[in-house]
Amino acid sequence: MMNECCIKLRSLLLMGVIAMLAFSCAQKISGPKGADGSFELGEYDVAIEAYQKMLEDRPNDPRVNFQIAESYRLSNRLKQASGFYETAFENGFVSDSGRYYYASSLKALEQYNDAVETLNALVDDTENVQLANRAREEVDNLNQINNNGTESYYEIFTVGPINTAAAEYSPVVSNGEIYFTSNRHDSKVYNTTGTPFTDIYKAKLNGDEIDVSSVEILGDLINLPGINEGTLAFTSDGNTVVFARGNDGSKKGTKEVNLYISRYRNGDWSEPELLAVNDPNSWDSSPAFNRNGRTLYFASNRPGGMGGVDLYAATLDGNGRFSNARNLGSDINTPGNEMFPYVDDDGRLFFASNGHAGYGGLDLFVAVRRDGKTTVDNLGTPMNSSEDDFGLIYTSRTKGFYTSNRDGGQGDDDIYGFIDNSPDRKIVNYILAGRTLTPDSATQANVVLEEVRLRLMDTQENVLAEATSNEDGTFEFQVDGEQDYLIIGEKPDYFTTRINFSTMGESIPVEQLVEEITTKNFQTELVMDRIILEKAIVVENIYYDYDSANIRSDAAVELDKLARFLEDNPEIKIELGSHTDSRGNDEYNRDLSQRRAESAVNYIISKGVDKNRIRARGYGESLPIAPNTNPDGSDNPDGRQKNRRTEIKVFEYNKDTGRMEEIEEMRSQPDSELDDN
């Protein structure tokens, strides 16, 4: 198990945060010392020193050169790895995956043509189909950058003495202070990279200026000795913080890097607690909140993803917990690594990746969902370089900070400022505000129904966003223009209910925009009925031709809805009852209504509903709900129409079964798209 932990570690290309994972392995594994032993322990800096001594006697040894290259790569020093890869392969070392990483090191050195040549040769030679596909994708990425790589509207600048020869990365701003991660002070060194442990610091922020004199390390509520603390995220009100922390090496400690949450209450921060969204056997880090603080984005290498590290999202549930993480899908995630998400006030998702077309190392990208489609764009130069560029935040609509370890900095990772000079930032936010209601049992007037779990879905029922209605029944989704949606609500003891919503024809043309940000609001209501056994519910608009039990086309439309209703509510079994008016004799009407009920039930079963969940019953004229005749004995056509009805009754309710389990299973699959934040 311990060796598997380190094998997993060596599969990641992370940067500074990789040290957390390495430490979690190194604390628990004992084994042989020497170069190979240190390598197996993840002590790459120690291994490099030992291998270098071995090269003194045999400088062209292919295996030793390859091991040095791998040690540099796995400690995120790709440039240094390149020459050792080259020597290893020139002297006969064979490794298809090593050749792929050699190409990555050439890319880091901005030797793009040589990288393409190396990858094309790998495609021709390797029998590893998956690796060949990765190599082809990377060739496409490199060609895209070579052909289309141009400068963007961004301008970057250094932010002064906040940076040191140590690492400073992942800035976050909250309540007039800037927080960042650094290893500037810790005297303990771990052997993965030969650098100290990381802690979280803060400083006062005056506009775009960081008050360096105010820099201080956070207390021991957040920073623990001998443990790496990583990136953090605040909600917009500054009262909730989520941060990453490595394990402490104890038997009771977690195996991997996990996310912790702390809340500010009564003048103090609460003791940090593990988030339920963590996978106990996976690396979880890089947290970020959306603007309302109800969705948490983070990075994880948990099973079931696209490969490497993927971005996930979890929504606050009715119990105030983040759980049920869902993969953001193949538009965002790649077989490479995606991490350091950030959502701005416009709902744009920024993140770092080495899987999309980039200049080398991690590049910064922005994902925008508009008109039902997600587009991902590289931020271009000068924001991106051949090194690692990541950890972006906006502090205003046009300014912000990010991290890079490019040449020309103070040392390791440094914090940079940027200005976004895009000529047209005018956008429209389409906001759907809704309420969840239920009929009052006494008056039948709609009253507030709180804590309803809601899913915003597209017409193919892909989950786009989630929410839980508040105490006043309100909920909110950000939606796109010119898009059809489906909203599904679920709450125990209530029928799962769906409604349609559309913004088709409601978009505001860009040429009509005046303000930089325009918000258009939509309203909707979702009314949910309580599940009551044996209570009759009239199903509207199911009509039959006179003296016939055949399903008419207009009735089929309504029966299709009833079949979908049963699909949405797998916890119930129903009786479908057919009723007639008093025209004709009682025996005839009972037989006709039974045939009509059976015809409707058979139709619903033909749509895939389990036959054991629905039964037919014909009541004939025995249960009128309106008079068939007027007091003077004349015919009452309105009353007869009401009596010719179809009703359903729930005769069995199993609370342990629900559609939400099906939705959760669907959400666990990595095919859903980016949230419309």
Chain segment 294-330, per-residue pLDDT in tens: 899 999 999 999 988 999 999 887 777 888 899 999 9
CB 426 within 8 A of CB 510: yes
CB 323 within 8 A of CB 349: no
Other Cβ atoms within 10 Å of 215 Cβ, number: 19
Q: Which of 522, 647, 652, 512 is nearest to 593 (CA)?
A: 647
Average pLDDT, the chain: 85
**Burial of 655: CB neighbours in 10 Å, binned 0-12, 13-18, 19+:** exposed
Angle in degrees, CA 655, 659, 662, rounded to 5: 125
Look up residue 249 and give its two tokens. 């090496």
> What is the CATH number assigned to the segment(s) 427-530?
2.60.40.10
pTM: 0.60
Look up residue 399 and give its two tokens. 């300014």
Adjacency order of strands within the sheet including 363-370: 338-343, 349-353, 363-370, 373-378
What pLDDT, on a 0 to 100 scale, did the predictor assign at position 509? 80
- Name the architecture of domain 154-425: 6 Propeller (2.120)
Q: Which of 58, 63, 15 is nearest to 405 (CA)?
A: 15
Residue 676 has pLDDT above 80, yes or no: no
The crossing angle, in degrees rounded to 10, of helices 96-108 and 129-148 is: 10
- Report which residue type is found at 228: N
What does the alpha-carbon distance between residue 267 and residue 285 come to, in Å, rounded to a whole number?
Answer: 27
Residue 179 has pLDDT above 90, yes or no: yes
What pLDDT, on a 0 to 100 scale, did the predictor assign at position 319? 76
- Report which residue type is found at 283: W
Residue 24 has pLDDT above 80, yes or no: no
What pLDDT, on a 0 to 100 scale, did the predictor assign at position 226? 79
What pLDDT, on a 0 to 100 scale, did the predictor assign at position 607? 92
Name the one residue in this structure whose structure tokens are 């764009």. Answer: 377
370 beta partners: 373
What does the alpha-carbon distance between residue 536 and residue 650 come to, in Å, rounded to a whole number?
Answer: 8
Q: Of residues 548 and 167, which shows the higher confidence score? A: 167
Look up residue 180 and give its two tokens. 């960042």
What does the alpha-carbon distance between residue 254 and residue 279 come to, in Å, rounded to a whole number?
Answer: 10
> What is the CATH number assigned to the segment(s) 537-660?
3.30.1330.60
What pLDDT, on a 0 to 100 scale, did the predictor assign at position 310? 96
CB 308 within 8 A of CB 283: no
Calculate mean pLDDT across residues 453-465: 88
Residue 515 has pLDDT above 60, yes or no: yes
Residue 623 has pLDDT above 60, yes or no: yes
What does the alpha-carbon distance between residue 447 and residue 441 come to, in Å, rounded to a whole number?
Answer: 10
Percent pLDDT > 90 in the chain is 54
SS3 of residue 220 by DSSP = coil
Burial string for 245-271 (b: 16+ CB within 10 Å, else e) reads bbbbeeeebbbbbbbbbbeeeeeebee
CATH 1.25.40.10 fits 2-148, yes or no: yes
Question: Hey, where are the domains in the chain?
Answer: 2-148, 154-425, 427-530, 537-660
What pLDDT, on a 0 to 100 scale, did the predictor assign at position 292? 85
CB 418 within 8 A of CB 403: no
Confidence of residue 289 (pLDDT cuts 50, 70, 90): very high
Residue 174 has pLDDT above 70, yes or no: yes
What pLDDT, on a 0 to 100 scale, did the predictor assign at position 149? 56
End-to-end CA distance of the chain: 39
Name the one residue in this structure whose structure tokens are 């095919």. Answer: 671
**Burial of 30: CB neighbours in 10 Å, binned 0-12, 13-18, 19+:** exposed
